[in-house]
């Protein structure tokens, strides 16, 4: 490690120690203070919304301000307001019933903050995915340390600057730096570690946290399918699938990763998706509402995936670009692209794409589509389009994914009362709404007995009263 890295490591450990000490001194942050913590965050987000949009756009080379407003600023404000409205109920102890053999006793669950949370955020929604877990942690009464992505340095610095103005460092702190700092961050002895990112790195995070037995929430990704049933018009399905796929240029963990449509309709659907994308984002290379790819490396990866499929005989349809000469044009704008029937062993079908490329394949019915999906890893989301509730629910019965939506993509994650998270390779644990509060909460089981409780009659020497109670328990 360089001297700078050593200093950063020492700083991280000092902040963690300070936060743990502050938590011991203020273990049960009252409702009014938690609400105030959230209100300050909301006010800052509103006040600095334009600054965040500019910073994110600069990090991307071009990021749609409208998409930042919808996908980051608006999302966070809704999440925080929801938490404040329901926080009083969430914090209350939860009473549970007591069996007759333990009466007259009282049992309940205390909802207590776990302590200090570590939050590792990715680059694709750098504001939302740093602050949404923070909202849950603050609602739960925790302290938090945040490590934003090094791929969005301007946004990371703005998050650091703004949060420093809201909270003392022993309450909320932001750690910036490259991969080596991120790796060291995962090895800190947090009380809970929350990671959002790729499945590959998620495995490494879980391994690092395991050394200290730190519990982890892993929000990962995977190949989320969109399935169009035979009873649903493919052109109609293309309208929302195109929006869900190409929003943020496909750099969304729950974006449809590939589409399964009735055999024989693949080309019709692919063309409808690209036509729709072209109408949403005309001249996408110079359109300020069409987001660029985050880096040259990622752009090259996407281009390589498409060309591999094309070389293997797959048909590729791309939305047309304009001249690209307009002010603000970005060389890393990747055209909305559909690839018809790429080979099963191609990179497009093996890897999560995370870009504006949609493979389109044929199926022989909902059962066939479900079987094909189940042969792969469990996705973070699954989408089914059908006019029949019975058909849609048959698909849900036959598959397993982190979340799902019927006749529309993405929107399930905007429902605060729905848990958001993966299963299997797409993640573990969930958050949003009360589930997020519980992620950073220890549910402490408590049984209160009166001074004189019948349980003393169970002690040896065992007599008739013991036999009577034992019969009640074993009958």
Chain segment 140-154, per-residue pLDDT in tens: 999 999 999 999 999
Which positions ≥6 away from 342 have C-beta within 8 Å? Answer: 309, 312, 314, 348, 349, 359, 361
Cα–Cα distances (Å) from 328 to 61, 63, 123, 279, in that order, read: 9, 11, 21, 20
Contact 242, 255 (CB under 8 A): no
| Phi and psi, residue 200, nearest 5° | -60, -50
Per-residue model confidence (pLDDT) at position 1: 47
Domains annotated on the chain, with CATH: 3-220+428-443 (3.40.605.10), 225-417 (3.40.309.10)
| Phi and psi, residue 157, nearest 5° | -65, -40
How far apart, in whole angstroms, are the C-alpha atoms of residue 371 and residue 437?
35
297 by Cβ neighbours in 10 Å (0-12 / 13-18 / 19+) ranks as exposed
Per-residue model confidence (pLDDT) at position 468: 80
3-state secondary structure 252-301: CCCCCCEEEEECCCHHHHHHHHHHHHHHHCCCCCCCCCCCCCCCHHHHHH
Using 70 as the pLDDT threshold, list the residues of the chain that sit under it: 1-4, 322-331
How far apart, in whole angstroms, are the C-alpha atoms of residue 474 and residue 151?
61
How far apart, in whole angstroms, are the C-alpha atoms of residue 472 and residue 470?
5
Per-residue model confidence (pLDDT) at position 135: 98
The predicted model scores a pTM of 0.94
Summarised one tens digit per residue, pLDDT across range 334-372 is 999 999 999 999 999 999 999 999 999 999 999 999 999
Annotated catalytic residues are 219, 253
Per-residue model confidence (pLDDT) at position 328: 44
């Amino acid at each position: 490690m360089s001297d700078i890295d050593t200093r950063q490591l020492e700083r991280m450990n000092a902040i963690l120690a300070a936060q743990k000490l502050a938590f011991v001194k203020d273990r049960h942050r009252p409702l009014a203070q938690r609400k105030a913590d959230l209100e300050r965050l909301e006010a800052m987000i509103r006040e600095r919304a334009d600054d965040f949009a500019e910073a994110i756009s600069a990090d991307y080379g071009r990021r749609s301000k409208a998409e930042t407003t919808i996908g980051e600023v608006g999302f966070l404000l809704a999440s925080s307001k929801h938490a404040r409205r329901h926080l009083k109920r969430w914090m209350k102890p939860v009473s549970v019933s007591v069996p007759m053999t333990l009466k007259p006793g009282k049992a309940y669950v205390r909802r207590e903050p776990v302590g200090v949370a570590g939050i590792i955020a990715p680059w694709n929604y750098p504001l939302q995915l740093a602050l949404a877990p923070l909202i849950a942690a603050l609602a739960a009464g925790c302290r938090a340390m945040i490590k934003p992505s090094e791929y969005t340095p301007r946004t990371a610095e703005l998050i650091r600057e703004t949060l420093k103005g809201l909270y003392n460092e022993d309450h909320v702190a932001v750690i910036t730096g490259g991969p080596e700092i991120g790796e060291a961050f995962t090895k800190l002895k947090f009380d809970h570690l929350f990671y959002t990112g790729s499945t590959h790195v998620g495995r490494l995070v879980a391994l690092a946290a395991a050394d200290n037995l730190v519990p982890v929430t892993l929000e990962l990704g995977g190949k989320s399918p969109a399935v169009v049933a035979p009873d649903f018009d493919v052109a109609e399905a293309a309208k929302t699938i195109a929006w869900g796929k190409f929003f943020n240029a496909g750099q969304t963990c729950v974006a449809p990763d590939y589409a399964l449509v009735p055999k024989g309709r693949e080309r019709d659907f692919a063309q409808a998706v690209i036509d729709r994308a072209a109408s949403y984002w005309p001249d996408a290379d110079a359109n300020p509402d069409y987001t660029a790819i985050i880096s040259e490396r990622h752009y090259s990866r996407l281009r390589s995936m498409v060309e591999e499929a094309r070389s293997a005989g797959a048909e590729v349809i791309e939305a047309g670009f304009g001249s690209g000469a307009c002010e603000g044009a970005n060389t890393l704008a990747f055209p909305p692209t559909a690839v018809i029937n790429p080979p099963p062993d191609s990179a497009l079908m093996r890897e999560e794409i995370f870009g504006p490329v949609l493979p389109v394949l044929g199926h022989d019915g909902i059962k066939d589509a479900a079987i094909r999906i189940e042969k792969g890893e469990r996705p973070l989301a699954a989408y089914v389009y059908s006019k029949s509730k019975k058909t849609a629910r048959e698909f849900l019965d036959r598959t397993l994914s982190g979340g799902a939506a019927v006749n529309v993509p993405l929107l399930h994650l905007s429902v605060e009362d729905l848990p958001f998270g993966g299963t299997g390779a797409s993640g573990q644990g969930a958050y949003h709404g009360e589930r997020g509060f519980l992620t950073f909460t220890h549910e402490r089981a408590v049984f209160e007995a009166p001074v004189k409780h019948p349980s003393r009659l169970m002690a040896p020497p065992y007599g008739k009263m013991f036999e009577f109670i034992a019969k009640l328990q074993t009958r």
